[in-house]
A and B are shown apart, each in its own frame.
Chain A
Amino acid sequence: MEFQSCVKIINEWDIVAARQLGRNVAKELGFGTVDQARITTAISELARNIYLYAGQGNVYIDKVYDAGKSGLKIVATDEGPGIQDIRKVMEDGYTTSGGLGAGLPGVKRLMDDFDIDSTPGKGTEILATKWIR
């Protein structure tokens, strides 16, 4: 992990800043336009979740290298209310039906690796990585 960059999410404009950072890094790494759009959409979702449900938090964008592959890793952290039932928010149709966006299952599908940790009352950390094919 030789590169790391962070955007603090406090208001809606920060979502744009996080997207911009993610797109720049994705371009540098050589992701194609479709994957760039997928990565920025995932970042948007995660940053929006922080803005809407936690109030504030951070989105980190890392370049990662593993066994000759390179990729982009998003880490979204907040100290918000946390998620009571992770299985439920990972269910298809749970958030999208209310028009809340792609939701976490959407983020998981847009990226290659996905991991979530959440403690009610403490906060949430979500990791999502996309590898260059």
Chain B
Amino acid sequence: MEIRENMEERYREALSTYLKDQTEQALYSGQKISRKTIEDKISPEEIISLHKSILMEICPDTTDKVFHSLDFLLEVMMGYGIAYRELQSLRHQQQELKSEIEIAANVQHTLLDTDIPDVDGLEIGAISVPAKQMNGDYYHFVQDENECMGIGIADVIGKGIPAALCMSMIKYAMDSLPEHRHAPSSVLENLNRVVEHNVDPSMFITMFYGLYNPHNHVFSYASAGHEPGFYYEAATGEFKDMDAKGLLLGVEKKTKYKQYEKSVEPGDMIILLSDGVTECRTDEGFIERETLIEYIQKNIHLKAQEIVNNIYKQLEKLQHFQLRDDFTLILIKRNV
């Protein structure tokens, strides 16, 4: 109530001043009043009512028509008053949702956290950045008892919260795989069964799984419709697509995945990515895989982690700092 009395006083003074002399300064005090009334959550119809009663007080000789017109105006402003209060409440709800999503993103971060393993003779760099708060991409490293390193990279078609929920399931399924069965084709076959069984038919997941054997330097891999990675051959300086055929996860229960093998020579690199990397949309359209290769070549002298960080920074800049899809890039380099 005190707020209102104060406001009434200020309004009376400002309005009287303005009616006397139509100065900019008086108008400025009107603007300041509106800032205060918004802060105090006073709705438009109350302002009109206040205006009318003060006008009656300071200019009692005003014609009745003017006063009646203010009653009419008040009625018209009712809808705006309601919309204004609704906006305030929606804003509050939005704030709540935002902090809820932030917490969910933290939970997801903890859940999907994976350490880059220390493997003799290998240098590994990885980066994964969500387009919104939650990530629909996922990568995961595991090391088995024979020191073989497994690397999984997956991408849910779509982004945001639904994709993130889906990803959490993949992570859980990966963790439940038997320790000794990390052959890429059987990992994908297992996950395919889980996804087919548990995920809405409208959701699709692409995934690449590879296993690096540090004893004989053979990289075996299989793909479930995932964006093909690159293989860099140090001897020739050439980049090749790591093509691998396989159906997306969750389409058909009994899908079999073909396993490929590649002997990795010193200086060679394996580059894995999600389609958020190749579908970077710039002013000239999607970037070409060749452009991406150029970026890698430009940074090739750096450490693996620096290479992926730099490429992310450059592609982020190309897209004017607006990611349209989750972005994941992994680079595995066999040391010379």
Q: Please judge, given known A-B contacts A34-B46, A41-B78, A110-B82, whether A92 and B71 are in contact too, CB under 8 Å.
A: no
Flag if A93 contacts B90 (CB, 8 Å): yes
Looking at the assembled complex, report how far the CB atom of A109 sits from the nearest CB atom of chain B, in whole angstroms. Answer: 5
Verify if A96 is at the interface (C-beta below 8 Å from B): yes
Nearest B residue to A34, CB-CB: B49
B82 in complex: contacting residue of A33, A34, A40, A109, CB < 8 Å: A109
Question: Which residues in chain B, 4-54, are within 8 Å of chain A measured between CB atoms?
Answer: 45-46, 49, 52
Verify if A64 is at the interface (C-beta below 8 Å from B): no
Verify if B85 is at the interface (C-beta below 8 Å from A): yes
A102 in complex: contacting residue of B74, B75, B82, B90, CB < 8 Å: B82
Flag if B82 contacts A92 (CB, 8 Å): no
Looking at the assembled complex, report how far the CB atom of A124 sits from the nearest CB atom of chain B, in whole angstroms. Answer: 20
Flag if A109 contacts B49 (CB, 8 Å): no
Verify if A8 is at the interface (C-beta below 8 Å from B): no
CB-CB contacts of B76-117 with A at 8 A, as 1s and 0s?
001100110110011001000000000000000000000000
Flag if A92 contacts B86 (CB, 8 Å): yes
Flag if A92 contacts B93 (CB, 8 Å): yes
Chain A residues near B71 (CB, 8 Å)? 33
Flag if B74 contacts A96 (CB, 8 Å): no
Chain A residues near B83 (CB, 8 Å)? 96
Enumerate chain B interface residues (CB-CB to A < 8 A).
Answer: 45-46, 49, 52, 71, 74-75, 78-79, 82-83, 85-86, 89-90, 93
Can you give 13 contacting A-B residue pairs, CB < 8 Å? A33-B52, A34-B45, A34-B74, A37-B75, A37-B78, A38-B78, A41-B82, A92-B89, A92-B90, A96-B83, A96-B86, A102-B79, A105-B89
> Closest 3 CB pairs between A and B?
A106-B82, A102-B82, A34-B49
